[in-house]
Structure 1
Amino acid sequence: MSENLFSWPKQAAFGRVLPKTKIYEHVKPTQAVKELFVRQVEQIVWQYKLAPETIHLSATKSVPEIQVFSIKQKTDTLSNEVLRCIDQAVQFPIIFELKYEDKISMKACYKRPNEADRNKWVRSEYFSSDWLNTDSDRVPLPMSLDLGSLYGHLLEALIPVDARQGESLSTFTARIERMHAKQREMDKLAGRLANEKQFNRKVEINAQLRGLRSELEELKAHEA
């Protein structure tokens, strides 16, 4: 995982405030999600547009452009439901820069066209960087052959595990999602173990935990 923010190219600056109502025109959020926008979001800015005409990298079928959105938060947390709503409204991959007080964090999901319906998009869970000071140094964008490889590098910078040799972005992100699912299972079992009084059940739960821990280590391994 990168501990740096990226220096977005000046020629890609877009800098348009995006009203929440514009998002609502393209998505029909529930009242609960609208309330999250009101409580948690102060302002959304469509900050940069990384496209062939702005950064001179060719488009790919799955990544015609990459958008960079800046979100100023009212609170120290921002629900992923808010980000999902924006991702659903904008038909391009998005990198979010979340800002709260003097801190900033990058966040994004792996977003790709649905093979069965190219007008729809498939989205992974969200990956994020640590919170950094807003005045932290920024690094140049990774060297990339096209927008597809640039998108892969940007996402990999948010994931604290290295991709395996020859591993595709979709396989890599799916592996990370399985790791997170295993960790959630382990956390749930650990909670059950702490409350369990029967010795035999403790033995069973410990065995399950060892199995899950082994599976998690296999998923984390740099080689399959």
Structure 2
Amino acid sequence: MLNLPSTVLVNRVMPKKVFYEHLKTTAAIKEQFVQQIERIEMVASIKEASIHIPGDKDVAEIDVLALYLKGIGIPYEAIELVARSISNKLLFICLTNESCKLLVRRDRLYETGWEPTDGAKLELVGSTLGELWDSIVSQVIFGDASYTDLAGRLERKRRSEALRLELEQVERKRKSEKQIAKKNALFDRKRAIEAELSRLEGES
């Protein structure tokens, strides 16, 4: 799975009950474990002993967890609970109907689109586990394996998303605005947003 080296593979089933019976949760989240997840499996444990890449102060181990789903719905709250309950960095693989998608949690959950399970691959890039983790996050969010300036790239992504949302709101208001002065002010704001978006795209 994911074309990972055999030295990191674990392939151990993790009982779902461990998460929803022994951790503080809600009935709705427990329902996600019961109704949406068939089983949880630890696919791999990426650490210095298994891959000969040293850890650092932030990352000592990266675990790959497979969630075999009963349908195509993603149990986001259950995934959040698992992410909060395990101190290691986690890459989630959701699998259903010979398709999979990858998820990681940074400031929030990020995910790829669905892709054929057989074609899904993960590049292990970096001279430390911290760099390797940033590379994994980059592969999920940006579709490339670069670990350089991940924090900056994420900040620009968040800013771009906020600006695009504001741009939609400005354009809607401008279409319905009757007063010329306000309409012109909205047009100026639209141009300013577009200019900042262009700058951010150039820095990406």
- TM surpasses 0.5: yes
* Counterpart pick for 1:33 among 15, 29, 32: 29
Q: Which runs of 5+ in 1 are unaligned?
A: 111-123
Q: Which runs of 5+ in 2 are unaligned?
A: none
Residue type at the aligned position of 1:30? T
Q: CA deviation at 1:96?
A: 1.1
Contact in 2 for aligned 1:182/1:212 (Cα 8 Å): yes
Change in CA separation of 1:185 and 1:21 when aligned onto 2, cut-off 3 Å: farther
* Counterpart pick for 2:60 among 60, 64, 68: 64
Greater C-alpha Rg: 2
Work out the percentage of aligned pairs sharing the same amino acid: 23
Find out whether 1:138 has 2:134 as its counterpart.
no
Instruction: Tell me, in whole angstroms, the C-alpha distance in 2 between the residues paired with 1:79 and 1:190.
Output: 34
Find out whether 1:101 has 2:97 as its counterpart.
yes
Any idea what the Cα deviations from partners look like across 1:147-206, whole Å, max 9, x if unmatched?
Answer: 111111111112338799962x33332332222232333344455556x36364555444
The residue number in structure 1 matching 2:43 is 47
Contact in 2 for aligned 1:36/1:79 (Cα 8 Å): yes
Report the 3-state secondary structure (helix = DSSP H, G, I; strand = E; otherwise coil) of the residue aligned with 1:138.
coil
Instruction: Tell me, in whole angstroms, the C-alpha distance in 1 between the residues paired with 2:147 and 2:4.
Output: 28
Q: CA deviation at 1:218?
A: 2.3
Computed over aligned residues only, the root mean square deviation of the Cα atoms, in angstroms, reads: 2.9
Contact in 2 for aligned 1:45/1:70 (Cα 8 Å): yes
Any idea what the Cα deviations from partners look like across 1:111-148, whole Å, max 9, x if unmatched?
Answer: xxxxxxxxxxxxx1222223211121636x33421111
- The equivalences for 1:52-201 within 5 A come to 52-110=48-106, 124-136=107-119, 138=121, 141-160=123-142, 167=149, 169-190=150-171, 192=173, 196=176, 198=178, 200=180
Instruction: Tell me, in whole angstroms, the C-alpha distance in 2 between the residues paired with 1:73 and 1:54.
Output: 28
Residue type at the aligned position of 1:145? S
Change in CA separation of 1:211 and 1:89 when aligned onto 2, cut-off 3 Å: same
Contact in 2 for aligned 1:51/1:66 (Cα 8 Å): yes
TM-score, normalised to structure 1, is 0.76
Report the 3-state secondary structure (helix = DSSP H, G, I; strand = E; otherwise coil) of the residue aligned with 1:62.
coil
Instruction: Tell me, in whole angstroms, the C-alpha distance in 1 between the residues paired with 2:160 and 2:178.
Output: 29
Q: CA deviation at 1:66?
A: 0.4
Change in CA separation of 1:69 and 1:166 when aligned onto 2, cut-off 3 Å: closer
Report the 3-state secondary structure (helix = DSSP H, G, I; strand = E; otherwise coil) of the residue aligned with 1:68.
strand
Instruction: Tell me, in whole angstroms, the C-alpha distance in 1 between the residues paired with 2:34 and 2:174.
Output: 40
Change in CA separation of 1:60 and 1:103 when aligned onto 2, cut-off 3 Å: same
Contact in 2 for aligned 1:65/1:92 (Cα 8 Å): yes
Q: CA deviation at 1:58?
A: 0.7
Residue type at the aligned position of 1:91? S
Larger fraction in helix: 2
Change in CA separation of 1:76 and 1:165 when aligned onto 2, cut-off 3 Å: closer
Change in CA separation of 1:75 and 1:211 when aligned onto 2, cut-off 3 Å: farther
The residue number in structure 2 matching 1:218 is 199
Answer 1 or 2: higher relative contact order, Cα 8 Å, separation at least 6: 1
Change in CA separation of 1:185 and 1:75 when aligned onto 2, cut-off 3 Å: farther
Decide which moves more: 74-83 or 183-192. 183-192
Q: CA deviation at 1:100?
A: 1.9
Report the 3-state secondary structure (helix = DSSP H, G, I; strand = E; otherwise coil) of the residue aligned with 2:140.
coil
